């Protein structure tokens, strides 16, 4: 009966952890990314680039955090050494997330688009830099 209670409460704790991590990381990363977007536009970044508009900045941030949390949970449950796996996986995901940003900048080639793309790349880095410690707090890797 004890194992049934433990099993029954685990999803609630994980569900609460997911919700708290997305809320905490989402609010903080969205605020920082809006500031980065404003700075990139002030530096001459093309404001018409989809990712540089405030609603898109917030939406993409939440989207990235959600998929990051899903990946974190999968690794946490499946890997024998989740911290070790994530120490490799997180930087790889960051680099892969830059491929479309670099591709879009290369396709356009204009300075204003490259300035926007640099801002977007920084947003990706900031989102990951905020997400990892928040996930470690609310979705701990130890079992």
Task: Please answer whether residues 27 and 55 qualify as being in contact, where contact means their C-beta atoms are separated by less than 8 angstroms.
Answer: no
CA dist., res. 66 & res. 59, Å (int):
11
pLDDT of residue 1: 45
Tell me the whole-structure pTM to 2 decimals: 0.84
How would residue 47 be classed by pLDDT, with cut points 50, 70 and 90?
Answer: confident
CA dist., res. 54 & res. 92, Å (int):
27
Domain boundaries, the chain: 2-138
Task: Please answer whether residues 4 and 19 qualify as being in contact, where contact means their C-beta atoms are separated by less than 8 angstroms.
Answer: no
């Amino acid at each position: 009966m004890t194992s049934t209670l433990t099993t029954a409460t685990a999803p609630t704790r994980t569900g609460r952890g997911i919700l708290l991590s997305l809320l905490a990381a989402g609010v903080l990363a969205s605020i920082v990314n809006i500031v980065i977007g404003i700075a990139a536009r002030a530096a001459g970044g093309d404001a018409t680039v989809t990712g540089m508009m405030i609603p898109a900045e917030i939406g993409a941030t939440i989207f990235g955090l959600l998929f990051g949390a899903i990946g974190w949970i999968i690794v946490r449950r499946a890997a024998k050494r989740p911290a070790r796996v994530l120490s490799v996986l997180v930087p790889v995901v960051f680099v892969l997330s830059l491929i479309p940003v670099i591709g879009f900048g290369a396709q356009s080639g204009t300075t204003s688009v490259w300035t926007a793309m640099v801002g977007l790349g920084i947003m990706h880095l900031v989102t990951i830099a905020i997400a990892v410690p928040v996930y470690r707090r609310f979705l701990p890797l130890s079992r």
